[in-house]
Amino acid sequence: MRYFDNASTTYPKPEDVYRAQDVFVRSAANPGRAAHQLAWNSERQIFESRLAIAQFLGIKDARRLIFTGSCTQSLNMALKGLPLKAGNVVLTSALEHNAVMRPLQQLKNACGIDIQQLPYANGVISADDLKSALSANKISLCVVSAASNVTGEIVDLAAVSELCAKYKVPLVVDAAQSAGTIEQNIDSMGISIWCASGHKGLMGPAGVGLLYVHPSIELEPLISGGTGSQSEVLEMPDEYPDHLEAGTLPAPAIIGLAAGVKWIADTGLAKIAEHEMALAAKFISWAQKQSHIHIYGPKTTAGRLAVVSFSVDGMTPDQVADILDNQYGIAVRPGLHCAAATHKSLGTLDSGLTRASFGWFNTESDVEYFCQALSEIAILATR
């Protein structure tokens, strides 16, 4: 199969990721819950994984890096753990995934917060629009995606962070698409809370997410339970990471994620990004010469990830994806991509788009085969 759905989850994973999980599961117990060698060994590996991942992401205090079940869980813990109340205004963008918008809507329904969305500005949040919103309203929180999972457009987080700091507004970042694909130095970016998936660009397995909480921010736990520490106290421990890590951690997934991060560091993040963008550039260049195929988002590789959404005249996205899958063995993603606000801004809310997202394990010949398949599909559409 030619797999072009890496924005959803990277596939395949590096062999080291599979191997690390297998080795761990065969000699693991519940970390932090016993005093025997298997439990201590598991706890040590979790500790070392946390340190390694924090170092890779530019986080000095690894205790503030929390392991969760997914980026969606991280965002829910962030948004629902902050003291938001009726009348608070949360500022976000038109690029947001439902992992942001649905928790915000839930908070709006439950406690009466107001949600304000910045207008779509060719994918890049307009500094003027952001400054105007921050200065004209009493904003309690700003939540933005680092990059769009629909168009691949990258948000200028440095500019967003600088303005939020100027107006003393905490900043929550959804880094599901950018983690592992763009250099991260979280401590120097002025971010209050940072959330990411383990199974996308970080090359880890499904079932683990990351949540970074700056020392100036305190979150109320979304879930309470056992931590293996301070069991005599009925409140969650104040110390991080235990404060936010209730229950048994997804240890095999964490070990796999650490292996994925090590593989990225050893291979070179810049090298990986260069390869992926070369493939995206090859596809975009070809598509722009086709009258029946329309690219959404940037028409060059500048300011974007290797995520490209497109439409084919005369066919719906699900028809395109179905033919690619069943007749050509090509995996893409059709639909709204859980980002209705983005599609509304693009004018594709009714139809959706087909998305191709290129990864390290794709080749130029894969892209050439993909282009040939789309050419043949377009011929079918005109009959």
Is residue 261 located within the same domain as residue 312?
no
Q: What angle do CA 45, 58, 79 make, to 5 degrees?
A: 90
C-alpha to C-alpha distance for 225 and 218, rounded to whole angstroms: 18
State the angle between helix axes of 15-25 and 251-267 in degrees (0 to 180), rounded to the nearest 10.
Answer: 150
Q: Residue 352's domain is classified under what CATH number?
A: 3.90.1150.10
Tens digit of each residue's pLDDT (9 = 90 or more) over 274-327 = 999 999 999 999 999 999 999 998 988 889 999 999 999 999 999 999 999 999
Closest alpha carbon to 70 in 95, 42, 103, 30: 103
Is residue 254 located within the same domain as residue 173?
yes
Strand pairing of 89-92 and 114-117?
Answer: parallel
Is residue 178 located within the same domain as residue 325?
no
C-alpha to C-alpha distance for 41 and 24, rounded to whole angstroms: 10
DSSP character string of 279-296: HHHHHHHHHTT-TTEEEE
Tens digit of each residue's pLDDT (9 = 90 or more) over 113-148 = 999 999 887 657 888 899 999 998 799 999 999 999
Domain-embedded: residue 6: no
Contact 91, 143 (CB under 8 A): yes
Tens digit of each residue's pLDDT (9 = 90 or more) over 364-378 = 999 999 999 999 998
Of the two residues 203 and 29, the one the predictor is more confident about is 203
User: Domain limits at 363?
Assistant: 268-381
The pLDDT of residue 383: 62
C-alpha to C-alpha distance for 67 and 368, rounded to whole angstroms: 39
Is residue 207 located within the same domain as residue 340?
no
C-alpha to C-alpha distance for 29 and 25, rounded to whole angstroms: 8
Rg, C-alpha atoms of the chain: 21
Is residue 258 located within the same domain as residue 277?
no
Domain-embedded: residue 199: yes
H helix intervals, 227-292: 251-267, 269-287
Is residue 282 located within the same domain as residue 340?
yes
- Decide which of 232, 266, 300 is a domain's last residue: 266
Q: Residue 218's domain is classified under what CATH number?
A: 3.40.640.10
- What average pLDDT score do residues 44-51 get? 97
Is residue 142 located within the same domain as residue 235?
yes
Domain-embedded: residue 3: no
SS3 147: strand
C-alpha to C-alpha distance for 62 and 60, rounded to whole angstroms: 6
- Decide which of 266, 283, 307 is a domain's last residue: 266
Domain-embedded: residue 368: yes
pLDDT at 228 > cutoff 80: no
Q: Which band of pLDDT confidence, cut at 50, 70 and 90, is reported for residue 226?
A: confident
Structure tokens at 32: 């932090």
The pLDDT of residue 122: 64
Q: Return phi, psi of residue 246, to 5°.
A: -90, 140
Is residue 178 located within the same domain as residue 75?
yes
Is residue 41 located within the same domain as residue 163?
yes
Percentage of the residues of the chain whose pLDDT score is greater than 90: 85
Q: Which band of pLDDT confidence, cut at 50, 70 and 90, is reported for residue 66?
A: very high
Closest alpha carbon to 97 in 89, 86, 107, 105: 105
Closest alpha carbon to 218 in 242, 194, 238, 189: 238
- Decide which of 208, 231, 266 is a domain's last residue: 266
Structure tokens at 258: 């650490």
Is residue 293 located within the same domain as residue 330?
yes
Domain-embedded: residue 2: no
Number of domains in the chain: 2
**How far is the CA of 323 from the CAs of 142, 316, 361, 372, in angstroms?**
41, 11, 22, 13
C-alpha to C-alpha distance for 57 and 146, rounded to whole angstroms: 14
Domain-embedded: residue 8: no
Is residue 216 located within the same domain as residue 350?
no
Is residue 312 located within the same domain as residue 351?
yes
pLDDT at 360 > cutoff 80: yes
Domain-embedded: residue 10: no
Domain-embedded: residue 252: yes
